[in-house]
Structure 1
């Protein structure tokens, strides 16, 4: 443990060990409604109640009520009023404990506003040594959540290791134990393995073969040497070290053996014997509580259902190549191990109907299905194979539960049926989240005048409304029809045509030369563009020249639809400043796999390579699906992005973001998650 971390942990443990509870006594009983509840407890009243209490007292005695008013205002997302009360409190002379509590409230406010750097700054200004028990627990919860949002698993685990021993509610203990394991297993194996218990095996000397599980020799855990000079703080640090080592060992064995249930069960039994008094024994992470229930799919015969002829043959064959690439990678990895590979069975969905396919799958003893690709085929086939695990390569088809128009649609509810769509709607929702995280207030959408463009725009609007529930901003969407009219289209969108019209009217009235400048609208502060590459190449310069020269440059965001190879590097230079989303696979042109694919499969479009990525990830997801389904916060890093599984069994992909600068791609960091 490094010196800095040891000092930090020592400081926390000292704070925790010295917290006391003081009960104030009075000869006159105070009515319950006159006693302010504890800060950061579950408030029963609204902000108006606490602000009214503050007004009634009208002296320094109202500080507690003001703190509670800020907490309630943040909960109600009334941030302007919360800032007013915070400013009032900052103007007062506060002691160290009150200042730290105020900084913690400010951190809460920034976090609720999705201002993550400001949240961390506020947390850094807190003197944790003066926080009471409730405030310290709240601080550690918020710090843990922030580290998780910022994808800092090591820092998140350090915070949760300090937090969990001081939780008193059983459901919270279980939740944070699950979350802690999910963060720990994201650490490098080398870091986790430093604490992994040694598996000591009893060996028959005559045969030199391992004996069964019942004869495993469990080493006794080493007890820390105790000397007469050992202080209470030394004991606390030693206890903390044992506690941390137990968690690291637990995460290490799960990280290594999560796809091998028998081995995982054996190593977990060893861990329990090695750490018999560890607190995780009482609230074991759910993924380890019933290992048999989360055993991964290990099929012997996999059916792949794709259109290999006809109109969509190109798409089907691109996915097929990706699947075969992943299959042969697995074959190479297992070449020195005695583990059988599954058999792949390819079925052309263009040559048979749903019932015939279902019969063929049963006859071939298929125990896992990848596909189909088309929604109509998914709708037809899935009800016929409810006993088979399926990873469909498109979204589930929504079905009405009844003829009642007000009834919510019902989606496929079979536990082992999953959907893995490349969804432009999900991409638009992630774009809305990024633009919101970048502090823009009034974005505008430009999309093609088609059902595709309108679906994507609608998804963006819905996500923006969910992110800004207290705002009255109605995101505008403008739809273009043809490339030949893009100039007039942009003039209309940015309202420079109206400015030109007003200038002409003034010249007509004045009858003298006027020095004028066309003005564009100033209410829009970002534009999200959904277009093909050739359309974007025209749209961006039209926007650049249409925006008034004295107005700030409009930030432009685009979808992966417009990302493409630029072998001359001329177009990429023209797109300088543009931020866009895409698969990590396609944003790393120097990556070994994409170079290998490009060499073997020259001059393929990005749309084809995205389907290749879908094929690779769909095969590799087979062993990950149950893990993703049963582990909160779990992700799998695929070619398409960070993959997670929603409650509806839809695979969600968190895309990456990049920006062009003088023709060169630069990654754009983002705290957003897949929606």
Structure 2
């Protein structure tokens, strides 16, 4: 039966590929060497996949199997992935040795990975039964972890790979460095608890670059200390390029002429004026700049962009509103013979001067020949575009609540919790945050979180009671009392399969939910730790509110947490001027501070991705798409105060 099955498989494969055209790639010659008894390394670099397939049809069972395995691997090399996958599926139906089976699984996993079926590839790779993974297996596992957004595991996998196959080139070292560049502070904390070859050196290198790469002298001093300790570390291959990038950063001229596009009239004026106040507060430290504020609610974006071309700013901050961001990126600049900056305010040397309808000189030679031109100035967008691609000169500051939820899920999963219950507002933003938390939680724990969406009003507490299964316990008590004539004393019991609760709630909702959950926890059970997003925190909490929320831990920007502000003096000044400003506007104000401080740093962060900016809205970092995201701090309600929390 075995011979018949193999002959049928070979016949089918021969018919399938007999008329296929040969490929032109000529792979480099490799030696056929079995590495371990669990995974047979079967390579043939001299023949094409079709040649191997043809040869298999004339060979005996075992040799034919080897040739088919070789052909499957060669098809992957030749990027004929469907053909490789078909051979692997056919071979999986046959009786293979352990080594052949593992090799076939490896071929199948790699083909699926190359085709973009990441989860299927991971499932097939996990079926390989060996304690001694081979080079291709290690490399594939590392790449799968990265593609599954398991950055910490991916880094460990790559370091394990390079333990057996050391870094030899600058490109290899640069790729590992790029992975460390992506680490958020919360991922980095998790990575410090792991162990792998060269990990300590990479973490130290990442830290020194993040803190010192704005200055060549500071960087060289830190690098010298690091190199004395890690003389053979692969990151030494990167120091020449790093120094060159830092010198380029250091020699760049500071931007002097800055335009700010924000809404200063209409419904969104409070937001725009709060950001303006934050920018001006940060401006006081560098009064040599020239700021021009442009009201994006006063004229259409095409006219604004047209005027900017005449105005020639060195840098643009904004727009703020998503619709304005999208139209700003979509607008092709139409040069006209005259440009006007309407409804603007000019800031220079701390003096605010209206310059409404100020005429700007035109560009010589273009007055009578209108042309479309793209934006030529650097821009820091204050919101993410819906779908537009950012150019090399465009950067975006992300304040997505989903990022906060993802950070919370990752950090809490590192605390040893396994079963999470999410309580979320039944709103669009509540669902987005809950889904982001749940996805990250499942990714880290392989356990699905439970989500309870509660409505506003009186039904909110009933939804929570149902989510804790307290209502089921009440029903059982009610039935028991009806069946037994004597008086029965009983306490309702909540579900025991939840060891942590995370809330997405407004401050008022949190103040109702937290005590309600506390009283509905069975006296026979341990208290369930409760956490929340920044939406639950209000800077104007009184003692009664702190008592109701006592023990609730939440994420928040440093600006709103005691002793976490980067610039406490600036915070104290703001409180004197605006003592009653609410938390939402405080966050917008802090965003304005960071926006101006990022002006001279975005190019540096683009050149040196490991750089970080410790801002008032969090620790800021830039990704490969020039999106700047933040890492928040943690606080905890106490009866007498708000306490800072270190989520190590």
Query: Structure 2 length normalisation: TM-score?
Result: 0.62
Matches for 1:214-613 after TM superposition, within 5 Å:
244=227, 280=236, 284-286=240-242, 288=244, 292=248, 298-331=254-287, 341-384=288-331, 385-398=374-387, 411-468=388-445, 471=446, 473-566=447-540, 568-588=542-562, 591-613=568-590
Contact 1:318 1:611 in 2 (8 A): yes
**Distance in structure 2 (CA, Å) of the matches to 1:493 and 1:565:** 29
Aligned CA RMSD, in angstroms, stands at 5.1
What does residue 207 of structure 2 align with?
Answer: 183
Moved more, 545-554 or 456-465: 456-465
| Structure 2 residue 31 is matched with structure 1 residue 32 | no
SS at match of 1:32: coil
Any gaps of 5 or more consecutive residues in structure 2?
1-31, 41-72, 74-87, 100-120, 132-144, 157-161, 168-175, 332-373
What does residue 619 of structure 2 align with?
Answer: 642
Question: Once the 2 structures are TM-superposed, how far is the Cα of residue 352 of structure 1 from its aligned partner?
Answer: 0.5
Question: Once the 2 structures are TM-superposed, how far is the Cα of residue 551 of structure 1 from its aligned partner?
Answer: 1.5
SS at match of 1:285: helix
SS at match of 2:554: strand
Contact 1:302 1:344 in 2 (8 A): yes
Summarize the Cα distance change of 1:282–1:588 in structure 2 as closer, same or farther, 3 Å threshold: closer
Summarize the Cα distance change of 1:279–1:449 in structure 2 as closer, same or farther, 3 Å threshold: closer
Question: Once the 2 structures are TM-superposed, how far is the Cα of residue 182 of structure 1 from its aligned partner?
Answer: 4.1
Contact 1:480 1:486 in 2 (8 A): yes
SS at match of 1:581: strand
Q: Per-residue displacement from partner, 1:388-415 (whole Å, max 9, x unpaired)?
A: 22111111112xxxxxxxxxxxx42312
**Distance in structure 2 (CA, Å) of the matches to 1:464 and 1:373:** 31
SS at match of 1:616: helix
Question: Once the 2 structures are TM-superposed, how far is the Cα of residue 293 of structure 1 from its aligned partner?
Answer: 8.4
**Distance in structure 2 (CA, Å) of the matches to 1:632 and 1:196:** 18
Matches for 1:623-662 after TM superposition, within 5 Å:
623-662=600-639
Summarize the Cα distance change of 1:391–1:516 in structure 2 as closer, same or farther, 3 Å threshold: same
**Distance in structure 2 (CA, Å) of the matches to 1:647 and 1:583:** 24
**Distance in structure 2 (CA, Å) of the matches to 1:446 and 1:77:** 32
**Distance in structure 1 (CA, Å) of the matches to 2:307 and 2:575:** 36
Summarize the Cα distance change of 1:561–1:443 in structure 2 as closer, same or farther, 3 Å threshold: same
**Distance in structure 2 (CA, Å) of the matches to 1:436 and 1:161:** 22
Q: Per-residue displacement from partner, 1:555-590 (whole Å, max 9, x unpaired)?
A: 111111111124533322332221100011111268
Question: Once the 2 structures are TM-superposed, how far is the Cα of residue 193 of structure 1 from its aligned partner?
Answer: 6.9
Q: Per-residue displacement from partner, 1:220-240 (whole Å, max 9, x unpaired)?
A: xxxxxxxxxxxxxxxxxxxx9
Contact 1:386 1:414 in 2 (8 A): no
**Distance in structure 2 (CA, Å) of the matches to 1:360 and 1:309:** 19
Summarize the Cα distance change of 1:581–1:489 in structure 2 as closer, same or farther, 3 Å threshold: same
Any gaps of 5 or more consecutive residues in structure 1?
1-29, 39-43, 54-74, 87-108, 121-131, 164-175, 198-239, 249-277, 332-340, 399-410
Contact 2:317 2:381 in 1 (8 A): yes
SS at match of 1:308: coil
**Distance in structure 2 (CA, Å) of the matches to 1:243 and 1:564:** 43
**Distance in structure 2 (CA, Å) of the matches to 1:425 and 1:300:** 34
What does residue 361 of structure 2 align with?
Answer: none
Contact 2:210 2:611 in 1 (8 A): no
What does residue 257 of structure 1 align with?
Answer: none
Contact 2:609 2:622 in 1 (8 A): no
Contact 1:287 1:631 in 2 (8 A): no
SS at match of 1:588: coil
Contact 1:153 1:183 in 2 (8 A): no
Summarize the Cα distance change of 1:147–1:192 in structure 2 as closer, same or farther, 3 Å threshold: farther
Q: Per-residue displacement from partner, 1:401-434 (whole Å, max 9, x unpaired)?
A: xxxxxxxxxx423122111132211111111112
Question: Once the 2 structures are TM-superposed, how far is the Cα of residue 502 of structure 1 from its aligned partner?
Answer: 1.8
Summarize the Cα distance change of 1:188–1:421 in structure 2 as closer, same or farther, 3 Å threshold: closer
Q: Per-residue displacement from partner, 1:440-498 (whole Å, max 9, x unpaired)?
A: 22212212222221222222223223334xx3x43232222223333322212212112
**Distance in structure 2 (CA, Å) of the matches to 1:395 and 1:324:** 23
Q: Per-residue displacement from partner, 1:514-559 (whole Å, max 9, x unpaired)?
A: 2322111122221111111111111100000111111121111111
Contact 2:204 2:226 in 1 (8 A): no
Summarize the Cα distance change of 1:567–1:426 in structure 2 as closer, same or farther, 3 Å threshold: closer
**Distance in structure 1 (CA, Å) of the matches to 2:239 and 2:218:** 24
Contact 1:181 1:285 in 2 (8 A): no
Q: Per-residue displacement from partner, 1:209-229 (whole Å, max 9, x unpaired)?
A: xxxxxxxxxxxxxxxxxxxxx
